[in-house]
Structure formats: C-alpha cells, structure tokens
Amino acid sequence: MVADPGLPWPELLAQLDHEFGGHEALVPPADPGAPARVAVMNAMRPELLREVHGRGVGVYVTGQLRPGAVDTARGLGLGVVALGHRRSEVWGLHQLARELRAAFPELDTTVLGGRDPG
C-alpha cells in the first residue's frame, strides 16, 4: 500500500508511534524534512525497496527490519520504520475486530494475547 500523508519524517514517526505504541528499528531518510510518500509493506527486501523508490516513496513501513536490505534503503535515501512483527500483527488483529464490530454490532469479538495499541 502506498499513501501520501504529506508529513515530514518527525511528524510521521510520531503518528506511527502513537498508533502502534512504538517501533523496533529506524533508518532515517536522506531528507527528513520533506513530506514523505509512504509504502506499507509486509516484507523488506532490496528489490522491494527499489520498486517503491521508483514509485516516489520516501518512507518504508514494515514489521521487521532486515539487515540485508538496510544498505539498499540508505543508498536510495529511504527512511524505514520497522514497527515490530508482533506489534504490527496485534494492531492488525485489533483493527480487524474494530471493523467487524462496526459491520456487525451484535458480534462479540475478543483479541487474545495483546493490548489494543490504537
């Protein structure tokens, strides 16, 4: 998913930390003051970084930082926010529960094993 929130790195990072309850690792972008186009991805590989960079992305959000891809991110000037594998999965489960409750108010939903970060 690619989005244009129009926020520079510090504001984007603050919003992500607020929504997800923190992050595990960061690679700052080459230009932290520029409004960033953001890619939300389920993997971090050099070829994916190159692909989204070609689409004008400045910040790559993923669950887990892959050391083998960090040099590629830095070389492209991409910022990377690794939210944490568990943190992003727990957030996703809670988001799914919120959407199910909105669509089916009579449905009882429970997410086990994680506090709702959002």
- The residue among 64, 65, 68, 69 whose CA lies nearest residue 85 is 64
Is 85 annotated to bind a ligand? Reply is: yes
Q: Quick check: 35 and 6 in contact, CB under 8 A?
A: yes
Query: Does 99 belong to an annotated binding site?
Result: no
Short-list 56, 67, 78, CA closest to 25: 67
Q: Exposed, middle or buried by CB within 10 Å (0-12, 13-18, 19+), for 65?
A: buried
Torsion on CA atoms 57, 8, 17, 74, rounded to nearest 10: 50
Name the binding residues: 85, 89
Name the binding residues for a divalent metal cation: 85, 89
